[in-house]
Amino acid sequence: MPRATVLRAALERRRALVVPGAHDALSAKVAESAGFEAVQVSGFGLAGSLLAKPDVGLVDMKDILDITGHIARVVRIPVMADIDTGGGNALNAAAIAERLIEMDIAGVNIEDQVFPKRCGHMEGKQVIPAEEMAGKVRAMVDVRARLGQDIVINARTDAFAPLGLHEAIFRANLYLDAGADMVFIDGIATRHDIERAVREIRGLLSVNLMDAVTGVKTELIPIPELAKMGVARVSIPVASILVMHKALVDFFRALHASPNGLLAGETFRLSGFKDYTNFVGLPEYRAREEQFLPALAGKR
């Protein structure tokens, strides 16, 4: 079954499907191995891992698509792309949607911010006219229909912070009317806000908890409770890059502070070499060497 169809079916159950963010192929593979049913590419994470920069629209679309493709090739579960504001106008968004379909991407997030965008939980966000965003959605829907594919279009509105919940709900419904399959109101604040959004939005709603520990600007509500409300998806997009950052900071600081320049015995800081190489498939590559490179195999 196509991964887009699998994702669509899972979302339509409205059981708060948890879709963690991945900042590269390795983090996506780890999420899959942990048992998650889908993964999303984190624009915040890409900016951090690729450029060591904040998520303020600095990553080239080519890099976004390349890394998204790497992720889709390494996991079997559905992958949702993050294309920020769609690369320009409606025609640009449509062209990117076509590329994503060719890459077997199951879903895509597109947002209504002014470019250059900001991470959804940063200050100073601005949004484009609602009809302009609806045009981007319609153009992507047109590509999907023309190619006979099932990619899930998730339209994000960032109107909550600058314009309030009423405007955000209005925009969410407008984007659904334009053909989006799911919407989410980024930076939504409280349980009451989410409950109202579920009631008034005429379609699938995603909630972004930013990370699974602090929630940042959105109240941290247990997943079973969000499922009872009827939330379709819960995204936890930035946790992987924050985990990686802390692990690297702790490791390199400890290594630099070590009197002898070593951390002998502190194996809790890292995976075992064999565990890691097994995880990324080294035994399978060794077996293929034995099969296809007999001269190399005979030297072992």
CATH of the domain at 35: 3.20.20.60
Burial 253-287 (b: 16+ CB within 10 A, else e): eeeeeeeeeeeeeeeeeeeeeeeeeeeeeeeeeee
191 and 281 assigned to the same domain: no
- Whether 93 is covered by a domain: the verdict is yes
Given a cut of 80, whether residue 214 has pLDDT beyond it is no
199 and 58 assigned to the same domain: yes
Query: Quick check: helix, strand or coil at residue 195?
Result: helix
Q: Give 300's pLDDT tier (boundaries 50, 70, 90).
A: low
Query: Has residue 255 been placed in a domain?
Result: no
Question: Domain check: are 275 and 228 in the same one?
Answer: no
Is pLDDT above 80 for 298?
A: no
Separation between Cα atoms, residue 29 and residue 277, nearest integer Å: 13
Is 258 within a domain? no
pLDDT at 62: 96
Give the pLDDT score at 57.
86
Q: Does the residue 176 lie in any domain?
A: yes
Chain mean pLDDT for the chain: 93
Same domain, 199 and 300: no
Residues 175 and 75 in one domain: yes
Helix (H, G, I), strand (E, B) or coil at 36: coil
Residue 90: inside a domain: yes
pLDDT value at residue 294? 74
pLDDT tens-digit map of 242-255? 999 999 999 999 99
Q: 216 with 278, same domain?
A: no
CB-side neighbour CA atoms (13 Å) of 82: 28
The pTM of the whole model exceeds 0.75: yes
Instruction: Report whether pLDDT(297) > 70.
Output: no
Span of 103-112, 113-122, 259-268 with lowest mean pLDDT: 113-122
Does 56 share its domain with 126?
A: yes
Q: Are residues 185 and 141 both part of a single domain?
A: yes
160, 299: one domain: no
Same domain assignment for residues 41 and 106: yes
Element (H, E) at 156: strand 152-157
Same domain, 28 and 106: yes
Q: What does DSSP assign to residue 267?
A: G
Ranking 64-68, 97-101, 144-148, 215-219 by mean pLDDT, the lowest is: 215-219
Decide if 62 is inside a domain. Answer: yes
- Work out the pLDDT band at 156, boundaries 50, 70, 90: very high
Q: Measure the CA–CA gap between 9 and 290, rounded to whole angstroms.
A: 42
- pLDDT number for residue 159: 96
DSSP three-state, residue 54: coil
Do 100 and 239 fall into the same domain?
A: yes
CA atoms lying within 13 Å on the CB side of residue 180: 30
256 assigned to some structural domain? no
Domain extent for 21: 3-244
Q: At what angle do helices 239-257 and 25-33 cross, to 10 degrees?
A: 110
Say if residue 249 is exposed, middle or buried (CB neighbours under 10 Å; 0-12, 13-18, 19+).
Answer: exposed
> For residue 260, is it within any domain?
no
Residues 283-293: tens digit of each pLDDT:
999 999 988 98
Q: Is the pLDDT of residue 215 over 80?
A: no
Q: How far apart are CA 72 and CA 65, in angstroms?
A: 10
Dihedral Cα 192, 194, 199, 203, nearest 10 deg: 180
What pLDDT, in 10s, does the model give residues 40-66? Answer: 999 999 999 999 999 888 999 999 999
pLDDT over 70 (residue 167): yes
Q: How many domains does the chain have?
A: 2
More confident residue, 259 or 107: 107
Please tell me whether residue 176 adopts helix, strand or coil conformation. Answer: helix
* Separation in Å, CA 276 to CA 25, 29, 34: 14, 12, 15
